């Protein structure tokens, strides 16, 4: 793409003056970008795959509205991003197919009033660098996903996710700590290497079953 953004056929753009595409970014067939007040920014080298929808949805003119995607990130097929409360996606973030980031929600606390009369929340969503969100996952308003985290397919994320944590389920809960697991594997490898090392007797003989070093 030689530094230019590439746009396939069938892409729909609304409020184009609010859309910024970085060098080498790519919009696949059927993508829909609706940038009403707040705007959409796609970083350099990021891809938005076919039939994904990025909609700022800012009909209330909220100052925090907008969608920002960092560099070298991927928005998968049929993803939906609603940016009324603001969505900020970092670098090297992968959203698998059918992921939804919904930075807006209805208030329904009063049982005596229709929910449509109770207003909304629009606190925003932040996805830090190097996050992978699995197919069909949903991230709700007000959530921050820390750097290097992984969200399992089909999860519904309603609370913040710590960095380098794997979460899954409905609602999503922590399943493992990536750094702790890596440390355990490294320790197990060191122990295995020590146990496999040959044992030498004082007279130079190698213990039975051990391979000479």
Is 34 assigned a catalytic role? no
pLDDT of residue 199: 63
Could you tell me the pTM of the whole model? 0.83
Q: Considering only CA atoms, which of 145, 106, 104, 111 is closest in space to residue 128? A: 145
Exactly one of 34, 50, 106, 200 is catalytic; which is it?
A: 106
Q: Hey, where are the domains in the chain?
A: 6-177
The answer to whether residues 68 and 83 touch, using CB atoms and an 8 Å cutoff, is no
pLDDT of amino acid 58: 73
Q: pLDDT below 70 — which residues of the chain?
A: 1-3, 190, 196-213
**Domain 6-177, classified CATH 3.40.50.300, yes or no:** no
pLDDT in the model for residue 121:
82
Q: What are the pLDDT digits (tens) for 26-60?
A: 999 999 999 987 899 999 999 999 999 999 977 77
pLDDT given at position 48: 98
For position 195, what pLDDT does the model report? 73
């Amino acid at each position: 793409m030689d530094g230019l953004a590439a746009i396939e056929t069938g892409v729909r753009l609304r409020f184009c003056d609010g859309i910024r595409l970085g060098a080498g970014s790519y919009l696949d067939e059927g993508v829909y970008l609706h940038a009403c007040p707040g705007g959409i920014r796609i970083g350099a080298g990021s891809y938005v795959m076919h039939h994904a929808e990025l909609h700022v949805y800012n009909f209330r003119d909220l100052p925090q509205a907008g969608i920002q995607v960092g560099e070298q990130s991927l928005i998968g097929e049929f993803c939906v991003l609603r940016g009324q409360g603001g969505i900020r996606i970092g670098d090297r973030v992968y959203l698998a197919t059918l992921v939804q980031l919904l930075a807006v929600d209805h208030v329904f606390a009063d049982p005596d009033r229709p929910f449509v009369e109770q207003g909304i929340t629009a606190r925003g969503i932040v996805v830090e660098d190097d996050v992978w969100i699995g197919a069909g996952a949903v991230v709700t308003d007000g959530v921050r996903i820390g750097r290097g985290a992984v969200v399992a397919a089909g999860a519904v994320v309603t609370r913040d996710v710590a960095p380098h944590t794997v979460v899954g389920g409905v609602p999503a809960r922590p399943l493992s700590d990536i750094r702790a697991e890596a440390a355990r594997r490294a320790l197990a490898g060191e122990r295995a290497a020590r146990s496999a090392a040959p044992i030498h007797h004082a007279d130079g003989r190698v213990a039975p079953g051990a391979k000479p070093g």
